[in-house]
Each structure stands twice: as C-alpha cells, then as structure tokens.
Amino acid sequence: MLSDVQDRIRRFVSGAAGTSLQKLILRASSGTLGVKIVGAGLAFLMQIVLTRTLGAAQYGIYVYALTWAQLVALISAFGFSTASVRFVSKYLGQNEMSRLHDYLAFSRRTKTGISLGMGALFAVIAGLVYAEAETQTTFLIAALLPVVQSTLAVRIAEMRGAQYVVAGYTIEQVVRPVFVIVCMGAAAWVGWAVLSYEAMVLYVTGTTLAAGTAIWATRRVLPSEAQSESRSNTHTARDVARATWFRTARDMALIAGFNLILFRADTIMVGSLIGTEAAGLYAVASKGAGLVAFVIVAVNASVAPMFADLYAKDDRDELQSVVTFGARLILIGVASATIFLFAFAAFLLSLFGPEYVASVPILRILLLGQLANAAAGPALLLLNMTEYESVSAWIQGGCAVLNIGLNALLIWLFGTEGAAAATAITMITWNALALVAVYHYLRIDASFVGINVER
C-alpha cells in the first residue's frame, strides 16, 4: 500500500520535467532545505547563548539595535540581492561575459554607495537619539552592518545565479552563527561578562567573515572573463543596460518592502489594537506557520536561476516543465508539513507554555493560507525572474494595502483569528493575481496542475 502511494507521488512529480533537470532541482532543493534547517537550529542556539550570556537587559539593547540595523541592511541591498540571481543566470546562459562584467561592476558599486550612505545616516541618527553611552556604542557598531550584510546578500545572490545555491546558503547561514556561538560560548566558559556592544562586535565580525568568504567564493565560481575589464559594449549600450538594471533592482526593493508589510503587519496591528500579550501569542503561531515556507524557499532557490536562463533562451516548453515540476515539489512538501502541524498544533504550541495553546486556531488558519500559497506554485518568482518584476511589485503593493485594511476590519470583528484570516485571504489574493498575470504575459500555468505541459 505504502509503495503504491510512493509510486503515485513519484509519477505525479516526475511527469513534469526531464530526468537531468529533475535531479538538479531535487539535489539543489534538498541541499538548500537541509542548510535552512541547520541554519535555523544554529540561529536558535545562538539566541540561547546570547540570552544566557548577556542577560535580559543587555540582550534587549543588543537585539533592538540589531533589528534596526538589519532593516537598514535590507534597504541597502536595494533589490540587487534578488536581481543578481536573474541577471547573472541570464548572462551566463547566453555567454555574455562582457555584459556580465558590466552588471557585476554596476550592482556592486551601486550597492556599496547606498549602503555606505545608509550606514552613515544610521550612525548619525543613533548618535542623536541615544544619549546613554552603552546603547549609543551598540548602535554605532551596528551601523557597520548595512555595508557588510548587504555585501553578503548580493554576493550570495550572484552565487545562486551561477547555480551554486547550496554553497551560497551555507556561507550565509552557517559561517556567521558558528563564529558568534563559539566566541560567546568561550566568553561564558571563562566567566567574561559580555556587554551588548561587545556582542555586537562579534556579530558584525561574524557577518564580515561570511561576506569575505562569499567574496572569495564568487571569485572562484564566476568566469574570469566576467571579472576582467569590459571589452565590447559601447557606452550607449551600457547606459541602456544600467537603466534596466537599476529599474529592476528598484522594483525588487519595493517587492522586499511590500513583503515586510505582508508578513509583519498582522503581528504589529494585533499588538496595536489588542495588546502586546495578544501579539506575543499571535507571533508564536505565525512563526510556526512560517516553518512550512522552508520548503517554498528551498525549491524557489533552486529553480529561480533556471527560470531566468530558460526565459532568456525563449525555451517556453522547458520553462513550463521546470515551473510545473517545482510547483509539485512545493505542494507535496508544504502539504506534508501542513498536515503534521495541523494535527499536532496543540502539542507543539504547548511546548512554549500552556497559554500558547489558545493560538491553535490562529496557527491552523495561517497554515491554510500557506497551503493555498503552495498550490499556486512559484508564480510571483516567475514574474520576478523574467521581465515582469514591475507587475509583481504592483500585485504585492496592492495586496499590502489590502492586508492592512483587512487586518483593521477583521481584528476589530474577530480579534487575533481575524488577523490570521486577513493574512490568509491576502495570500490567496496575491497568488490568484500572480497566476493570472503569469498566464497572461507568459502563457504559462504556474500552478501544480501544469495544464500546458506537453506529455
């Protein structure tokens, strides 16, 4: 019986793509998922080490400064952390080394300029706002993060575009936490009372080591021709290309900002309209539902450069096959995780404390939203990896506004369950719009059904 079910699943997934692509996607997805799980475990361990070593007061200063610095770092990357996946994959696939060189030079230079400006602004504001010496010092050290963290993000994106997905995520999610854990653990072992700004020094240093590793890795994996001087493009051609690169990165930055609203507005509005205790209960359920997104991230990371490459080659049949194969992998993974979390929701939430069992309805509503998200396949990603990132930005921008409005209404009517319903409805809406947009512009079915795949 079990073998029959396994055979049906195998036929359902493998009917969508050629054998070589299946193996490549499965290997990259499983590797990325494994790294994400290890990274989540290391991040959890790092938080335990930090809270135990710093104490509540010092940890509060540290995490508050870190949260703001990471937000500024996200802005500093200016969308190149996504755009680089698309353009590196495209130019490598077309063997346009001169164009790839120009793009790398432009994206890195633009990102560096923005991140230096944002980091300096962050430091000036922190120096004016915080008078207490320790808090001010912690923020001033954190002001270095926008430069190094945005560098890390963009270099990892370049590796992903060159099909080194697992290696990129390993650098990002293992090097930094391991460094911080080892150093903080050593400090605790010798009895050194670490303060918030000293912990921030360790975090910035760990991020710098990871960024340095990523810089070294990109020099190894990208062709040497792409890292030498540009030879053939005219100034006019480069100016046109730069306008396209900048516009794409701008739209990607807007999409990242809208995503922050889409996935954070519910918790913030629960805290504002109901109270901080309700926000805490909601946040735990939200993070629990977010676990299933590990599967989506893992599969999307492996197929994103393929989308850009196949679209650039105008190979629509193969693109449809890869999209359908990825969509079916996502659905199977998310559905399996959803069934498990749905069934054991009460037990899992009770691990955080008996009061969190009240969040079971919230978790289940959010899981249904994630399941709908999975069923739609990588529709938004497909828009971002082709020439339609502006369409994706409009969809997510509109849904961000919808999400805020629905939260205001449904929280007033139904409390925290209303916030979960607002988020789930928004997920369904943006995926439905993305499916329609993909079919309209690309004539591709991005869902798990794959109705256009030739058998």
Q: pLDDT tens across 344-386, in order?
A: 988 888 876 787 788 899 999 999 999 988 888 888 888 988 8
Clarify whether residues 333 and 450 are in a common domain: yes
Q: Is residue 181 located within the same domain as residue 272?
A: no
Are 261 and 216 within one domain? no
- Measured in whole angstroms, how far is the alpha carbon of residue 276 from the centre of its chain? 26
DSSP 74-108: HHHTTTHHHHHHHHHHHHHHTT-HHHHHHHHHHHH
At 454 the pLDDT is 47
CA angle 90, 215, 256 (to 5 degrees): 60
The pLDDT value given to residue 2: 41
Q: In terms of domains, do 216 and 260 share one?
A: no
pTM: 0.73
Q: What are phi and psi of 53, to 5 degrees?
A: -80, -40
Shared domain check, 307 and 280: yes
Q: For residue 29, is it within any domain?
A: no
- What confidence score (pLDDT) does residue 16 get? 44
Domain housing 224: 34-233
Q: Is 240 inside any structural domain?
A: no
Is residue 210 domain-shared with residue 263, that is, in the same domain? no
Same domain as 294, residue 176: no
Buried residues in 234-251 as b, exposed as e (16+ CB within 10 A): eeeebeebbeebbebbbb
Give the residue from 233, 263, 294 where a domain finishes: 233
- Assess if residue 12 is contained within a domain: no
Task: Determine the pLDDT at residue 258.
Answer: 80
- Say which DSSP state 175 is in: I
Can you spell out the DSSP letters for 191-227? T----HHHHHHHHHHHHHHHHHHHHHHHHHHS-GGGG
- Give the orientation angle of helix 145-161 with respect to helix 80-93, to 10 degrees: 30
Q: Using one digit for the tens of pLDDT, what is the confidence trace for 157-213?
A: 889 888 888 888 888 888 878 877 777 777 767 666 677 888 888 888 888 888 999
In contact, 153 and 81? CB cutoff 8 Å: yes
Tell me whether residue 375 is in a domain. Answer: yes
In a domain, residue 243? The reply is no
CA separation for the pair 44, 136 (Å, rounded): 27
Query: Given this model, what pLDDT does residue 186 score?
Result: 74
My answer on whether 261 and 229 are in the same domain is: no
Domain boundary (233, 263, 295) is at 233
Q: Are residues 259 and 201 in the same domain?
A: no
By CB atoms closer than 10 A (0-12, 13-18, 19+), residue 268 is middle
Q: Are residues 159 and 130 in the same domain?
A: yes
Is residue 263 within 8 Å of residue 283, measured between CB atoms? no
What is the C-alpha separation between 354 and 369, in angstroms, rounded?
25
pLDDT of residue 1: 45
Do 210 and 255 reside in the same domain of the chain? no
Contact 176, 39 (CB under 8 A): no
In angstroms, rounded to a whole number, what is the distance separating the alpha carbons of residues 383 and 52?
44
Among the candidates 204, 233, 262, a domain finishes at: 233
**Contact status, residue 97 vs residue 225, Cβ threshold 8 Å:** yes
Query: Do residues 207 and 256 share a domain?
Result: no
Tell me, yes or no, whether 10 lies in a domain.
no
Number of domains in the chain: 2
Residues of the chain with pLDDT below 50 are 1-3, 5-6, 8-10, 12, 15-18, 453-455
Residues 6+ apart with CB under 8 A from 454: 317
Please report whether residue 14 resides in a domain.
Answer: no
Q: Is residue 20 part of a domain?
A: no
